[in-house]
Structure 1
Amino acid sequence: MQPSDTPLRPVTFHPEIPAIRYIVQTRLPEEYRVDSIATVNSLVDAIKCLDIRGAPALGVAGAYGVALATLTSTTSDPEIFQQEVSAAADLLRSTRPTAVNLFYGINRVLTVVKQEKTITSARDRAVSEAENVADEDSRTCHAIGEHGRKVLPLSCRILTHCNAGALACSEWGTALGVIRSAVQAGTLVQVYACETRPLLQGARLTAWELAQDGIDVTVITDSMAASLMRKGMIDLVVVGADRITGDAVFNKIGTYMHAICAHAHEIPFYVAAPFSTFDEESVEADIIVEERSRDEIAYFGGRRTIPDTVNVYNPAFDATPVSLVTGIITEHGIFTLPDDLAEIRAIRKRSLQQDHDISL
């Protein structure tokens, strides 16, 4: 069991070994287990099977993965070294095509590696930049929490979907970071966590996290949400995001359904996500939505629930039109799309310039 007085950090890096340690999220809530991996291939496997998951956490894991590739390369040839690290980055990118944070973390570290002439300096820069990605995500989540808590009534019932908590970030969380910050500030919060079929991230992960913190949480099936809204049992919805384009929010499958229901019942629908989740130059039609294994739906609790001859459609994410989103809670404040698209682009441009200046 995770010690209650220790920050919940799903992915940590230990360059002196070198290794990445991570909470095995597929084992929760039955078992709190931390495993260690020493190769990029093992990290790829952990990401693909969702032992490591959640958009910001994937960004951190991707950054750590590139740093690990620099430390585990055995070549003494700088050119071959750069080729090996770039190949590792490509392999990591292939694991989850929809979550933009993964690409952000990978590219941040790969960029500084390519700037270095020696293997030693490249390794030092990679480790430093990977830790910067993790530290920045932690600060970002706390800032999201501070901005988001201000839109919550002093007493409220919040619906959330999937897991956008500490397990999905470096720590604290985005949607759950808003809830944690509100509770810390004295807000009386009751959370309804949708179980989130087919892999139950809401039931297994969100409920576990909030229970660890002593926050009031009730798990419901995904199909119960509309009924609770109609009964006046939900005051607002707060979810995370894996990618935000100029016209849509991509999040765990089922999010769109909750957005429609919230709109029909005049309930605020908020998305909590870092600026690194924005892909404001793209539109919904540009994005590849990851499709996952048939077995995730065809089996439940180890038992087959669908006849072998029946087809299954299993997209990991859906797209919610921005017209259904009340506000996007970020570390820079709360924005709406498409109205604030120009401001979002301007902030992104300044951030990219600052990153460039720091790297020089």
Structure 2
Amino acid sequence: MQTLQTTSLRVSQDQLFILDQQALPQKKIWLPADNVDALVEHIHALRVRGAPLIGLSASLLLALLAERGAGREELALALARLRASRPTAVNLMNNLDRMKRALAQADFVPALIAEAERLVAEDKQLCERIADAGSALVTPGSRILTHCNTGGLATAGVGTALGVIARAHQQGNIANVWVDETRPLLQGGRLTAWELGELGIPYQLITDSMAASLMANGQVDAVWVGADRIAANGDVANKIGTYSLAVLATFHGIPFYVAAPHTTLDRHCPHGDAIPIEQRAASEVTGVAGSFGAVQWAPHDAQVYNPAFDVTPAALVSGWVLDTGVVSPQAVAEGIFAPGH
């Protein structure tokens, strides 16, 4: 397999490495992910995260395992385990469906390698198209609010929502980016703030609960978020806290945009209620951990509810910005995301 490098993935000397996103921004550590156990554990621990990136890392590992001599049955079992590692992010399922078809070919080793490399190249192209389509919606002097992390750390390319922001900044249209810290794992505070700093984009970090007051004071011109799954009716599953922003934006008359590749669209999922929502460990809410160590602030026996995602109804979305272009609420209401379209 050819040498490959993205912001968060590296293939070198037939080994897969991931950038440890739990160590950022204090440390930049590349970790091996050269077997299924290791990659699944990295995915569960969110060392590798972001719907597109999870799908790509799984695809690359399957290709590398095939190149090392794994048989068809072993690869099928590996594919099934990787598929189950994150139930909400549909990009993983879509990518592995393509890898499964490659595995079914007579000469499956080169087929898997070619498909994995194709998926990485396609993701970079998808990000560029999303950035082009979305930046056209950003007006000069915009103050944008974003949630979680949707940049190059979460994709093979420039990112989805953050890719739009970066392209709009290049065009001179960004005055400021409000970055939700994004509880409970602080992907905004740790990752998005770091990426914006690296790109030289002006930003201010806020706690999630500050968004309402900023909107009320006229300090937010638009909200841009990514997606882990888009249902056929336009409902959007994304990092917990996204739904709250959509409600607030609607109340204050602020555009709320979802930027995602078409691989995030699940035409066979009728609506948001059918999207599986991952429940995560209580320790993520009772304290905090990172490169600095760990601390617990809640009682040791505290009962915790910790869904990783929430669902934003389509009625609250101003536009779905895909690599194929901007989809309007009217088009979604007319069934453009439904099977057969």
1:147: how far off? 0.3
2:10 aligned residue:
12
Select the residue among 209, 218, 222 that pairs with 1:232: 218
1:183-198 to 2 correspondences below 5 Å: 183-198=169-184
2:74 aligned residue:
84
1:66 aligned residue:
62
CA distance 1:105–1:331, shift in 2 (3 Å): same
1:304: how far off? 1.6
Select the residue among 94, 109, 114 that pairs with 1:128: 114
Q: Secondary structure at the match of 1:27?
A: coil
1:178-233 CA-to-partner distances (Å, cap 9, x unmatched) read 01111122223310010000100000000000100110011100000000000000
CA distance in 1, matches of 2:40, 2:108: 22
Select the residue among 135, 148, 152 that pairs with 2:138: 152
Letter in 1 for 2:188: G
1:103-142 to 2 correspondences below 5 Å: 103-116=93-106, 121-142=107-128
**Contact 1:322/1:338, CA 8 A, preserved across alignment:** no
CA distance in 2, matches of 1:318, 1:292: 13
CA distance in 1, matches of 2:248, 2:241: 11
CA distance in 2, matches of 1:210, 1:8: 17
Q: Secondary structure at the match of 1:339?
A: helix
Aligned residue pairs, count: 330
1:12: how far off? 2.8
**Contact 1:66/1:106, CA 8 A, preserved across alignment:** no
Kindly indicate which of the two structures has a greater share of residues assigned to helix: 1
CA distance in 2, matches of 1:73, 1:299: 43
Q: Structure 1 residue 279 and structure 2 residue 266: aligned?
A: yes
Select the residue among 295, 300, 310 that pairs with 1:318: 310
1:72: how far off? 3.5
Select the residue among 12, 18, 21 that pairs with 1:22: 18
1:269 aligned residue:
256
Select the residue among 198, 206, 225 that pairs with 2:192: 206
Select the residue among 132, 155, 167 that pairs with 2:153: 167
TM-score, normalised via structure 2 length: 0.93
Letter in 2 for 1:55: A
The worse-fitting range, judged by mean Cα deviation, of 61-70 and 251-260 is 61-70
CA distance in 2, matches of 1:343, 1:109: 27
Select the residue among 272, 279, 287 that pairs with 1:291: 279
CA distance in 2, matches of 1:188, 1:99: 29
Select the residue among 32, 35, 40 that pairs with 1:36: 32
Letter in 2 for 1:233: Q
TM-score, normalised via structure 1 length: 0.88
CA distance in 2, matches of 1:134, 1:177: 16
CA distance in 2, matches of 1:162, 1:126: 32
1:56 aligned residue:
52
**Contact 1:140/1:331, CA 8 A, preserved across alignment:** yes
**Contact 2:286/2:302, CA 8 A, preserved across alignment:** no
CA distance in 2, matches of 1:41, 1:232: 48
**Contact 2:232/2:337, CA 8 A, preserved across alignment:** no
1:48: how far off? 1.1
Letter in 2 for 1:289: I
Q: Secondary structure at the match of 2:87?
A: coil
Q: Structure 1 residue 219 and structure 2 residue 211: aligned?
A: no
Letter in 2 for 1:258: L
Give aligned-pair identity as a percent.
40
CA distance in 1, matches of 2:108, 2:192: 38
CA distance 1:285–1:188, shift in 2 (3 Å): closer
Q: Secondary structure at the match of 1:135?
A: helix
1:89: how far off? 0.4
CA distance 1:147–1:68, shift in 2 (3 Å): same
1:216-270 CA-to-partner distances (Å, cap 9, x unmatched) read 0111000000000000000000000000002310000000000000000000000
**Contact 1:63/1:108, CA 8 A, preserved across alignment:** no
CA distance 1:335–1:223, shift in 2 (3 Å): same
1:336 aligned residue:
328
Letter in 1 for 2:277: V
Q: Secondary structure at the match of 1:12?
A: strand
**Contact 2:232/2:338, CA 8 A, preserved across alignment:** no
CA distance in 1, matches of 2:58, 2:130: 22
CA distance 1:297–1:251, shift in 2 (3 Å): same
CA distance in 1, matches of 2:306, 2:66: 35
Gaps of 5+ in 1: 1-6, 75-80, 350-360
**Contact 2:320/2:326, CA 8 A, preserved across alignment:** yes
1:73: how far off? 3.9
The worse-fitting range, judged by mean Cα deviation, of 316-325 and 178-187 is 178-187
CA distance in 2, matches of 1:290, 1:305: 24
**Contact 1:12/1:20, CA 8 A, preserved across alignment:** yes
Letter in 2 for 1:272: A
